[in-house]
Amino acid sequence: MGVAFQTPHCGHTLLGLYACRGIVSAHGGTIAVESAGHDRGTTVVVTLPALDDEPGEGEV
């Protein structure tokens, strides 16, 4: 399940997406980016693994 939102175009540098990529990657997730073309919007999908309810062997 995702959350959709819109932001106005204002010459983004994608630095925020770059920072998110590092955080998501460190947690075993992925980021997918799709666009239908110029001025048609972009969809960014962040997927993270589910958190285990109980710690595994060797975890606290």
| Domain residue spans of the chain | 15-47
Q: Enter the pTM of the model.
A: 0.57
Q: Beta strand 42-47 with 30-35: parallel, antiparallel or unpaired?
A: antiparallel
CB 29 within 8 A of CB 5: no
pLDDT value at residue 59: 63
CB 17 within 8 A of CB 44: yes
How does pLDDT run across 5-57, given as a tens digit for each residue? Answer: 555 665 666 778 888 889 999 999 999 989 888 888 888 899 999 887 666 66
Q: Is the dihedral of CA 21, 22, 26, 27 positive or negative?
A: negative
The pair of three-digit structure tokens given for residue 59, joined into one six-digit string: 């975890």
pLDDT value at residue 18: 85
Q: Which of 14, 16, 49 is nearest to 30 (CA)?
A: 49
